[in-house]
Amino acid sequence: MKREKFVVDPVTEEMRKRAKKLGIRTVWERYKENHARSKDAPFQATCTTCQQGPCVNVKTHGVCGMNKDIIVSKNLVSETTIGASAHVGHARRVANILRGVGDGSITAYSIKEKEKLDCVYKGLGLSGANTDEKKATEIADTILDDISKLEGTPKMLLYRALEDRQKLWEDKNILINGACPEIMEAQNRIAMGMDADMKNLLLGACRLGLVDAYCGMYPATTIQDILLGIPNITKIKTNLTVIKRDEINIVVHGHIPLLADAIIDATEEYNDEKEEKENKPKINLVGMCCTGMEVLMRKGVNYGGDILQQELAIATGAIELFVADIQCTQPAVVDAAKNFHTKVIMTDPMSKMEGAEYIEFDAEKAEEIGKKIVDMAVENYKNRDQSKVFIPDYEPHEMVAGFSTEELLKVLDKVKPGDPIGALVDQIKDGNIRGICAVIGCVTPRDTYGFRTVELIRELIKNNILVVLTGCVATVASYHDLLKPDSSYPGVGEGLKKVMDAVAKANDLDAVPPCIFMGACVDNSRIEEVLNAVANYLHVRIDQLPVAGSAPEYIAEKAIPIGIWTVLLGIFTHIGDQPNIAASERVVKFLTDDIEDIFGGKFYVEADPYIAAEKIIGVIEEKRKALGI
Ligand code: BF8
């Protein structure tokens, strides 16, 4: 019943109708087509490893004699490897840029956060450098060494993970070496005739969760903060309606905000010049996916939409350039762009796209490339056919963002000066906040747009659970005003409402939003920072805290190592869809049950947001009871 009453974002609905009319096939149409043809495909045990097969929909054993539990486990290791590689690839790219800033070969970026630089330098166990540049170089080298070294635990893991966790991971023999050998050995163990032990394979996948977090997400967030600034509270607008009919629109998309930063600078320069030449239209930057989240957090750029809305942005007919760096770009954008003057620009050598133009991002020439992109957009605006432009007539939504760990602590410090973590812990102990749930990850075409995420969040905040968000889930949350500061706090439980009132008052704000948006997917590292601080404050382990994680609509491979990492932290982790493991009851049981005895956390799979919310609330209440609060 509640599902039927769910109001889907009308802007997305209108744009889907419009795309259909124009013959632009969107992700939802392709989902229906493909899923209808292979309804059970995601749940089969299929092995394509060797030429004796392929062994499709294996009932008991493949040609080589491998049972389906092993096939499913191997496939999971493979997907996890891809996810972890994506985040490590991101970290490697930004570490190389930090290195260039340190040695002076890159001048388009500089060290924006000296305090964080010092703190990370010390935290990584480094000493002796007497200039910021030398510190930057040594931090970059350490992170690159964490990625490449054959032996030895990554320094970022030693710095960031709590000691008791490190000890546990060591005891269970999953403490990692550098990311590259880990990824290589993960591929090695799934080669034909190699690992045929389900538990051993799944613990192998666990190693990749640590690779993802400490050689991928943490370094990415840390370096981006140092080079681009630590986010502060900011208010922006969201949804496709931030695209402007009378302006030149450039979409910045992907995950690494460094190219986008150069485009922002070039845009500002162009718009300043424009003030003097009235007849020139302004440039409007529109963020999408995680690059969009990075630039909204740090630069207040309005946010156009998530992974599912890419073709819809182009279908407005008002996008001059769609510029993407890495990850989560649906190749379908090229087909959508053919209907208009829109140019799709890819910028990374590992992420080219047939039908798109290619301008390689080179950080040493960032300024020049930023200007070139702006010039291209201005030039392409001349080709726009205004009669083909359609932007639904709705106001964009308001979103408060910018909650880095540092900013969150500043906000809490105003509530309890000198003891910001205490300010949060007091509310948890008093029961105004029953617990914390991190709702993270993507949005899916497998269900009504935004339904699972929005309804899950609504249930949680109604029950006084503090919700923190990263990733595309925040998009749909914002379309339902869950990131809007509204002093009447509709739908928020009494206890949480009291806390929000107090936080707003202490910070001289009219209101704070019901959920806390902490950034892009790599910024999940910020969430662990906060949880570690709370665990330390209470002198308990992180797995004892009344917290949970949820990725109600995950779709990307990257979400798999992230989910594994949260389980390794000891956190109850809800996901909305079964990954490709349902063909093996033993694998499902291991990940949703047995693993809890090893690490304290486990997966829980449930598509229905109401059932999932009830379960999460139950787990949080159990943890409270066990802690005696
Ligand atoms: O890393 S939430 S669809 S944009 S994978 Fe991709 Fe998922 Fe969006 Fe960013 Ni994260």
For 232-262, how does the pLDDT look when each residue is reduced to its tens digit (9 = 90+)? 999 999 999 999 999 999 999 999 999 999 9
Atom of ligand 1 nearest to the CA of 289: 4
Question: 290 CB under 6 A from ligand 1?
Answer: yes
Residue 89, exposed/middle/buried by CB under 10 A (0-12, 13-18, 19+)? buried
For 310-330, how does the pLDDT look when each residue is reduced to its tens digit (9 = 90+)? 999 999 999 999 999 999 999
Write out the two tokens for 443: 């949005």
CA dihedral sign of residues 605, 610, 615, 620: positive
Cα-Cα end-to-end distance for the chain: 35
Write out the two tokens for 524: 């999940």
CB atoms within 10 A of CB 618: 12
d(CA 227, CA 135): 13
CATH architecture of 240-388: 3-Layer(aba) Sandwich (3.40)
Atom of ligand 1 nearest to the CA of 555: 7
Question: 255 CB under 6 A from ligand 1?
Answer: yes
Atom of ligand 1 nearest to the CA of 471: 2
Angle at 150 between CA 227 and CA 207, to 5 degrees: 80
Ligand 1 pocket: which of 85, 90, 290 to mutate (most atoms within 8 A of CB): 290
Cα distances (angstroms) measured from residue 259 to each of 268, 331, 359: 14, 20, 11
Ligand 1 pocket: which of 87, 90, 295, 327 to mutate (most atoms within 8 A of CB): 327
Residue 334: strand, helix, or coil: helix
Strands 234-238 vs 397-401: parallel, antiparallel or unpaired: antiparallel
Residue 626, exposed/middle/buried by CB under 10 A (0-12, 13-18, 19+)? exposed
* pLDDT score, position 43: 73
Taking 50 as the pLDDT cut, the residues of the chain under it are: none
The Å distance, Cα 159 to ligand 1 centre, comes to: 26
Helices 559-568 and 198-212 pack at an angle, to 10 degrees, of: 100
Place of tokens 């496939």: 75
CA dihedral sign of residues 113, 118, 124, 127: positive
Write down the H helix ranges in 149-195: 155-160, 163-171, 179-189
d(CA 589, CA 614): 21
* pLDDT score, position 34: 83
The Å distance, Cα 471 to ligand 1 centre, comes to: 6
Indicate the CATH number of 400-627 among 3.40.50.1970, 3.30.70.100, 3.40.50.2030, 3.40.1410.10. Answer: 3.40.50.2030
- Containing H/E element for 503? helix 494-506
Please tell me the residue having the least CA distance from ligand 1 atom 4: 289
* pLDDT score, position 273: 86
Question: 441 CB under 6 A from ligand 1?
Answer: yes
Question: 95 CB under 6 A from ligand 1?
Answer: no
CB atoms within 10 A of CB 351: 17
Residue 441: strand, helix, or coil: coil
**Residue among 328, 353, 323, 337 at smallest CA distance from 261:** 323
d(CA 401, CA 234): 5
**Residue among 239, 446, 254, 265 at smallest CA distance from 351:** 254
Rounded to the nearest 5°, which phi and psi values hold at 54?
A: -70, 150
Please tell me the residue having the least CA distance from ligand 1 atom 9: 290
The Å distance, Cα 51 to ligand 1 centre, comes to: 34
Dihedral (Cα; 207, 210, 214, 220), 10-degree rounding: 100
Helices 366-381 and 257-276 pack at an angle, to 10 degrees, of: 60
Write out the two tokens for 282: 């302004």
Indicate the CATH number of 68-228 among 1.20.1270.30, 3.40.50.1980, 1.10.287.130, 3.30.1490.190. Answer: 1.20.1270.30
Ligand 1 pocket: which of 291, 472, 550 to mutate (most atoms within 8 A of CB): 472
Atom of ligand 1 nearest to the CA of 441: 2
- What is the biggest distance separating any 2 CA atoms in the chain, rounded to whole angstroms? 74
- pTM above the 0.95 mark? yes
Write out the two tokens for 52: 């004796």
The Å distance, Cα 460 to ligand 1 centre, comes to: 22
Measured in whole angstroms, how far is the alpha carbon of residue 586 from the centre of its chain? 30
Place of tokens 């389900």: 198
Please tell me the residue having the least CA distance from ligand 1 atom 1: 521
Cα distances (angstroms) measured from residue 424 to each of 31, 410, 435: 42, 12, 10
User: What type of residue is 579?
Assistant: P
Place of tokens 């906060």: 530
The Å distance, Cα 310 to ligand 1 centre, comes to: 12
Place of tokens 């040594």: 138
Ligand 1 pocket: which of 224, 252, 289, 517 to mutate (most atoms within 8 A of CB): 289
Strands 248-253 vs 435-440: parallel, antiparallel or unpaired: unpaired
Measured in whole angstroms, how far is the alpha carbon of residue 415 from the centre of its chain? 29
Question: 560 CB under 6 A from ligand 1?
Answer: no
The Å distance, Cα 622 to ligand 1 centre, comes to: 31
Write out the two tokens for 76: 């999971």
The Å distance, Cα 212 to ligand 1 centre, comes to: 14
The Å distance, Cα 76 to ligand 1 centre, comes to: 19
Q: Residue 365: CB partners within 8 Å, gap ≥ 6?
A: 108
- Containing H/E element for 470? strand 465-470
Question: 471 CB under 6 A from ligand 1?
Answer: yes
**Residue among 436, 435, 411 at smallest CA distance from 421:** 411
d(CA 289, CA 607): 23
Question: 472 CB under 6 A from ligand 1?
Answer: yes
Dihedral (Cα; 571, 572, 575, 580), 10-degree rounding: 80
Residue ranges per structural domain of the chain: 68-228, 240-388, 400-627
Tell me whether domains 68-228 and 240-388 share a fold: no
Q: Residue 210: CB partners within 8 Å, gap ≥ 6?
A: 157, 169, 174, 175, 176, 565, 568
Place of tokens 């992180």: 542
Q: Residue 80: CB partners within 8 Å, gap ≥ 6?
A: 186, 205, 208, 209, 557, 560, 561, 564
Question: 88 CB under 6 A from ligand 1?
Answer: no
d(CA 603, CA 612): 12
Write out the two tokens for 62: 């493949």
